[in-house]
Amino acid sequence: MTILFINSIRKTKWGGGEKWILNTANGLKSLNHQVVIGARQNSILINKAQQQQLNTIKIKNYTDFSLISCLQLVRYINNNNIQVIVACLNRDVRIAGVASKLSKIKPKVISRQGVELIKNQWKYKFTFTHLTHGILTNSFSMKKLYDSFGWWDNNFVKVIHNGISTKKINNSKFDLKLITDIKPSTKIILSAGRLDKQKGYIYLLEAAKFAIEQGKDWKFFIAGKGKQYNYLKQLIDKYKLNNNFFLLGFIENIHPLLQAADIFVLPSLYEGMPNVLLESMLESVPVIATPVNGTPELLENNKTGLFIEIKNSKDIFEKIEYIFDNPEKTKQMSQLAKNNVINNFSLINSIKKVELYLKELLAN
């Protein structure tokens, strides 16, 4: 197959969806498919793709629909015999869908939905019923939502869970003593992701405030960058947490940091299928998360991790305390969680499922 991934996300943005594209593209390439990634010039995505020796094209989808971009895509499809287009943002879907209809090749167009991007409104109905051949998502919760619109049959939305590499990599543990004083008794609480309102980090900050007020020797770290950085820094100052709460910025390889952590907390208000939970579970780090969207498909409460209430700082604090007060129970949960990732969420299995899905689509 010749497969084109299109993602016109802003140059500086990097998240789970972009990581999925790279992982899937590399996996399909290893299975002898021709793969191309289309993204904005000088974007993090296109730079990483080029570093990994993937074929790329620069795209200029900056608005809901661009006729010039569409015609350029038609020419590229015809010249390169593109059979499948996997489009990520809604504007990418519109341009790819129209370009497919105008081209000689008529490639299949798939919308890849890692987070909820479709509303029950006529403009979305028109786009996704007329310009795509299917939707690929990573959670049954999203499929259930989209199917409830009543726009298509049960096979239109396909669920393939994210996967991660389960190969053992010998990373040296991240040295947090370079950032702050760490005693043998100090407990390390980690979170990671874009610094956006969606991630619920203000509730983790408030939980840290409770902990310090009660004299807990806990230190909190968030790996990631984003538009809430300055706001979170202000809250850290306001709550007098400068010695206990740290924003680390973007960390390329999260595994050394996970190996230094005692707990991983994901207090999100909504999620797709969070890779970072899989990575934490693979490293046998106890996980605490809100039961939103695809998270319950990864995590079983009281068996492979603990759920926390959405927007509930006190519950975050209490669940962290429970983990530290119950080491044997925690050890059992962490081992079950690791086994679950290895058995059910390996990257190679996920990629083979994507390959089979695309082949079936072309056959039909």
CATH value at residue 243: 3.40.50.2000
Residues 305 and 353 in one domain: no
> How many CB atoms within 10 Å of residue 12?
11
Amino acid 133: pLDDT: 97
Tokens representing 147 are 């199917």
Residues 186 and 100 in one domain: no
3-state class (DSSP) for residue 58: strand
Residue 222 corresponds to which amino acid? I
Residues 151 and 29 in one domain: yes
Residues 157 and 250 in one domain: no
What is the domain count for the chain? 2
Task: Say if 171 falls within a structural domain.
Answer: no
How far apart are the C-alpha atoms of 21 and 35, rounded to whole Å? 11
Question: What Å distances lie between residue 338 and 258, 285, 297, 299, CA to CA?
Answer: 13, 9, 14, 11
Residues 35 and 77 in one domain: yes
- Residue for token pair 């952590």: 261
Residues 195 and 104 in one domain: no
Residues 44 and 144 in one domain: yes
Amino acid 239: pLDDT: 96
Residues 305 and 359 in one domain: no
Q: Does residue 224 come out as left (phi exceeding 0), alpha (psi in the -120 to 50 range) or beta?
A: left
Containing structural domain, residue 93: 2-163+346-363
Spans of the chain, pLDDT less than 70:
62, 169-170
Task: Say if 234 falls within a structural domain.
Answer: yes
How far apart are the C-alpha atoms of 274 and 17, rounded to whole Å? 10
Q: Are 319 and 98 in contact (CB under 8 A)?
A: no
Residues 115 and 224 in one domain: no
Residues 137 and 286 in one domain: no
Residues 192 and 213 in one domain: yes
